[in-house]
Structure 1
Amino acid sequence: MDTKKTLKSLAVGSVLSLAILGHAGAETTFRFAEATPNRGARADALQYFADQLESQSGGDMKLDIHWGGALLKYSAILGGVSSGTADMGSVLAAYEPQKMRALSVGDIPVPQSDSWVGMRAMYELMTTNEQLQQEFEKNEVVYVTNYTTSPMQFECAGDVRIEKLEDFAGKKVRASSIYAKILDEVGANMVNFIYSEVYQALDTGLVDCSGGYLYAMQAFKTPEVTTSVALMNWGQIAGFAMVMNKWTWDDLTREQQELLREVGSEMVDFYAERVIADNQEVIEKLPTGELGNEVEVIEWSDENRAELFDESDKYVKAWIEDMNEAGLDGQAIWDEYQSLLNKYQTELDENGYPWARS
């Protein structure tokens, strides 16, 4: 008997013994670690996943969601799911850049910034590419489905207006990941702090601009202290996934595994519809003063957006090299990801969103 697997199975925090999962009529509840509060589009999507899983399994599979970091904070979720403290959880590649290098491909800024396109491409890549699946298994987790932050925009205070990349030069800016590196290279003065402090930082002048997401602007009420939003659609953070403990997954029947993935796929469409609608509502409300100040929305031209992605090339190469050094075929994975982005962008252009089709 595999002692390591036995110990891992015993550690998993399911309500009922995993040994009875395959039996007809057996019921199990998965302990789920979620670091954010139970509000907003993504929380609705996670609850949708839980409700659909319970309904479509006939009550055999349920989630016990621990919201707001009550069980594990973001930085601890991967380790917690891996060890069995939680059965499932939401993980960000940015918190575990080496362990989650496979997932980090979704964090590289690409022109296809649509939320549905990004999540669909990531879902197909992560559920079909064997190299990436093995990377997850090395960390004793299995990929279930994908989230996204939606496109990156920049909100600014005072008389600051950002119309092109060069406008960031000399400005005090908060951003993260590759976005921060690129802005630093074009002359921005980078300031680092957590997103919950953005309102105060913009209000006091600690920063001139901050990178964020339209739905978050409404949630954190930052339009009360900003005067303009640069609608850049600068990629998205799609290195953001739902994962399950590997030993929990292995103890499920094939039908249960397939149902988890199917519900995960359905959640992608549900979440994309919600977050896209929420973001469009914010765009429409910003200039009216309904959210705070009358905030100018500055739409970037295609030419100015292209400059953003020209700056990403070196980071694409660095990601490919990192994957190669880890024993993977980085170029092949990147090419497959690009192909999938183009596939779903073409589908969107030709057929529209799935929820809007007749």
Structure 2
Amino acid sequence: MAFNKFLKSVVAGSVISLSTIGVVAAETTFRYGEASPNRGARAEALQYFADQLESRSGGDLKLDIHWGGALLKYSAILGGVRSGAADMGSVLAAYAPQEMRALSVGDIPVPQSDSWVGMRAMYELMATNPEMQRAFEDNGVVYVTNMTTSPMQFECAGNTRLESLADFKGKKVRASAIYAKILNDAGANMVNFVFSEVYQALDTGLVDCSGTYLYAMRAFKTPEVVSSVAVMDWGQIAGFGMLMNKWSWDDLSSEQRSLFRQIGSEMIDYYAQKLVEERREVLAELPTGSLGNKVEVISWSEEARAELFAESDKYVQEWIRDMEKAGYNGTQIWDDYQALLKKYQGELDAKGYPWARS
């Protein structure tokens, strides 16, 4: 009798344990490496992704976001995601130029600098082009969706004003990726440091000007230490992806993968709307002094912008050669990317932003 009671308790315990294991197995939490702090438009977009994922999976899929580089710094995120130290992360191609040469196509300055256009073109290219998908899988990761810094502008301290490419000559400037190479060619004295140090560098005179983004000016309070901003809309850093560990991705069901993709697509519209609205607000507020100094807004002419993009040509060819050396069809990928940029720019021109359509 005692044995029967013992057996029943063991069986009951096993059933409870198995049911508990089933619940645990159904709930998957992904460690997410994010090097920026939990503030600003991009942080809101990432939190939107996490909230939508949890809600629409019925709580089965969750992100545990480690903000501000607490888990991994930008330079270590790709390696961390690839090795499984993190399941997912925000990866900038500029910090892993060889491994993420495919993603870096979004860093090449192009005239279609609108945030929504750029992210939409990158998303379709990365999510549908087999060669791009192979390039990620070769590095042990899978592309989920895209982010962007928004269009590149330059903010300047002191009496420095930029109205053309020639004005960069002799100036101390901070920029990254291909933008830095082009400005170096133009005679600028390039200074390298992380974006979080821009405020101090401008305030102390370490640099005359720094590449920036309108939403970041408010977030990093740089209007307190600058006198002008050159609104150039010089492309954008769109080589900025949300990536997942390949093993983690393979463990997902087809329905779960579709959910990640769908929310990733929706996040692009959510984030782009915030960037567009922020741009409008910041441009209106800069001259008033409400953000710090009264900052002069210098809008570049189309002729001055065209000179910038003409300087991109040799770096386009460099990117194509680098891709082909690595075993990919760089020319075809570039042509596909150009077609997608024109497609979404045409859609924007004809219909406006998706959130503003009736």
Give the Cα–Cα distance (whole angstroms) in 2 for the partners of residues 202 and 31 of structure 1. 35
Alignment of 1:62-211 (within 5 A): 62-211=62-211
RMSD: 1.6
Shift, 1:21, TM fit: 11
Q: How far apart are the structure 2 equivalents of 1:229 and 1:108?
A: 22
2:270 maps to what in 1?
270
Matched letter for residue 154 of structure 2: F
Q: Distance in 2 between matches of 1:170 and 1:69?
A: 34
Residue of structure 1 equivalent to 2:243: 243
> 1:171: how far off?
1.2
Contact persistence 1:22–1:253 (CA under 8 A): no
TM-score, with normalisation over the residues of structure 1?
A: 0.92
Deviation for aligned residue 1:59:
1.3
Kindly provide the amino acid, as one letter, of the partner of residue 134 in structure 2: Q
Query: Which 4+ stretches in 1 moved above 6 angstroms?
Result: 20-25
Q: Quick one: which amino acid aligns to residue 341 of structure 2?
A: L
Aligned partner letter, 2:87:
D
Match of 2:355 in 1: 355
Correspondence 1:330-349 to 2 at 5 A: 330-349=330-349
- The answer to whether the 8 A contact 1:223-1:292 is kept is yes
Whole-angstrom CA distance in 1 between matches of 2:34 and 2:196: 17
1:121 is displaced (CA, Å) by: 0.2
Q: Partner of 1:252 in structure 2?
A: 252
| Deviation of the 1:191 alpha carbon | 1.4
Given residue 95 of structure 2, which amino acid in structure 1 is its aligned partner? Answer: Y
Q: Which residue of 1 aligns with 2:327?
A: 327
SS of equivalent to 1:211: strand
Q: CA deviation at 1:270?
A: 0.3
Deviation of the 1:221 alpha carbon? 1.1
Q: 1:319 to 1:23 in 2, by over 3 A?
A: farther
Partners of 2:286 and 2:215 lie apart in 1 by 11
Deviations 1:236-287 (A, max 9, x none): 0000000111111111110110010000000000000011111221111000
Looking at structure 2, the residues matched to 70 and 201 of structure 1 have their Cα atoms a distance apart, in angstroms, of: 24
Residue 194 of structure 1 aligns with an amino acid whose one-letter code is V
Deviation per residue, 1:283-308 (Å, 9 max, x gap): 11000000111100000011110000
Q: Aligned with 1:113: secondary structure?
A: coil
Write the distance in 1 (CA, Å) between the matches of 2:244 and 2:21: 15
Question: CA, structure 1 residues 280+22, in 2 after alignment: closer, same or farther (shift >3 Å)?
Answer: farther
Map 1:12-91; keep pairs closer than 5 Å: 26-91=26-91
Query: What secondary structure does 1:80 align onto?
Result: helix
**What is the Cα deviation at residue 24 of structure 1?**
11
> Which residue does 2:286 correspond to in 1?
286
Count of residues paired in the alignment: 339
Q: Which amino acid aligns with 1:202?
A: L
Query: Match of 2:26, SS?
Result: coil
The TM-score with structure 2 as length reference comes to 0.92
How far is 1:22 from its partner?
Answer: 10
Q: Note the C-alpha offset of 1:131.
A: 0.5
Shift of 1:25: 8.6
What per-residue deviation string (whole Å, max 9, x for no partner) do you get for residues 189-229 of structure 1? 11112222211221222211111111111111111111110
Contiguous gaps of at least 5 residues in structure 2: 1-19
1:107–1:238 CA contact under 8 A, matched in 2: yes
Q: In the alignment, residue 219 of structure 1 is paired with which amino acid?
A: A
Q: Distance in 2 between matches of 1:25 and 1:265?
A: 27
CA distance in 2: counterparts of 1:32 and 1:53, whole angstroms: 13
Contact 1:21 1:253 in 2 (8 A): no
State the distance in 1 between where 2:81 and 2:213 align: 28
Q: What is the match of residue 4 of structure 2?
A: none
Partner of 2:6: none
Once residues 264 and 23 of structure 1 are traced to their aligned partners in structure 2, the CA distance between those partners, rounded to angstroms, is 26
Which structure's CA Rg is the greater one?
A: 2
Residues 21 and 28 in structure 1, CA contact (< 8 A), matched pair in contact too: no
Secondary structure of the residue aligned to 1:55 is helix
Moved more, 81-90 or 303-312: 81-90
Q: 2:197 and 2:98 mapped to 1: Cα distance?
A: 27
Distance between the aligned counterparts of 1:333 and 1:353, measured in 2? 26
Aligned counterparts of 1:75 and 1:206: Cα–Cα separation in 2: 24
Counterparts of 1:164 and 1:256, CA distance in 2: 49
> One-letter code of the match for 2:219?
A
| Distance (whole Å) between structure 1 residues aligned to residue 194 and residue 100 of structure 2 | 21
Aligned partner of 1:7 in structure 2 is none
**Structure 1 residue 353: Cα displacement:** 0.2
Amino acid corresponding to residue 250 of structure 2 in structure 1: D
Contact in 2 for aligned 1:215/1:279 (Cα 8 Å): yes
Identical columns (%): 75
Name structure 1 gaps, 5 residues minimum: 1-19
* Worse overlay, 122-131 or 185-194: 185-194
